[in-house]
A and B are shown apart, each in its own frame.
Chain A
Amino acid sequence: MRQRTSLVVLLTAITVGCIHKQSGPVSPWERVNVNLAALAQINDDIAKGVIAVQQAGTITVQQAAPVLNYQETVAKDHIALENILAAGSAQALSQSAEIQALLNEIKNQGTALIQSGGLGVKNPKSQQMFAQDLQGIVNLAEVVLADYQLAEVK
């Protein structure tokens, strides 16, 4: 699991920096959508990792529940975001407040969960590990928020 975390942190760094396009520059709109999709995929991978760790008996149900509840919230917020984005950039830009509110919810709830220390993981190293996992999601939400604001300006 520790190795998985290292990979997730590394992948987050790669995701933020390295979107490649066959021809022409990557548009802000493409950046928003690709980084959002990466956020969803990393969120899915972490959720499955937490479930695996709980089922292996490393953490209890009570310890896993708040993390998994957050990850389900991220997935549902992400669906709401995609429903807006799927209508196209013009429509999305008219729903700026809602998009930013959803991204802020992902960011703020993740930050609160990390800061609460309420992950309930007995092993301090494991607690740091889940905090790092969640920090990756928070970081990507911040990146998407910045991408979105850039797309709004252009």
Chain B
Amino acid sequence: MAKLETLAKLIAEILAAVTVAGPSGVELFLKLESLLNLGPDEQANVAVAIKAGLTADAETIAAVEAWKQQVGV
């Protein structure tokens, strides 16, 4: 029963956070949700995680470099 209450509280907190976070926050939530649900095969799971991480890195570097060019730093 206590576990159910804890779970319900967590879900309520997540929903509240997602509601106010807006589209980009929800996008991150969905990305992480997808990342955290693993299939049965370890190698495939690791490959998916590595690819997801590298994609995020490329986007971060591109965004920061574009910002630097734009502001001239």
* Chain A interface (Cβ < 8 Å from any Cβ of B): 3-4, 6-8, 10-11, 14-15, 18-24, 26-27, 29-30, 33-34, 36-45, 47-49, 51, 54, 61, 64-65, 68-69, 71-72, 74-76, 78-79, 82, 85-86
Contacts and interface: CB of A to CB of B under 8 A. Distances in A.
B57 A75 contact: yes
Nearest to A69: B64
Contact of A11 (B29, B54, B56, B61): B29
A18 B36 contact: yes
A82 B56 CA distance: 12
Contacts of A18: 36
A74 B52 CA distance: 15
18 contacts: A6-B21, A14-B32, A22-B37, A22-B39, A26-B38, A29-B42, A33-B50, A34-B36, A37-B49, A37-B53, A38-B32, A39-B53, A40-B56, A48-B63, A68-B64, A75-B57, A79-B54, A85-B50
Q: What 3 A-B pairs are tightest by C-beta distance, nearest first?
A: A37-B53, A40-B56, A33-B49
Nearest to A33: B49
Contacts of B67: 51, 54, 64, 68
Nearest to A45: B28
A37 B24 contact: no
A56 to B, nearest CB: 13
Given A7-B17, A44-B60, A65-B73, 8 more contacts: A4-B24, A27-B42, A29-B46, A37-B53, A38-B32, A43-B60, A75-B56, A78-B57
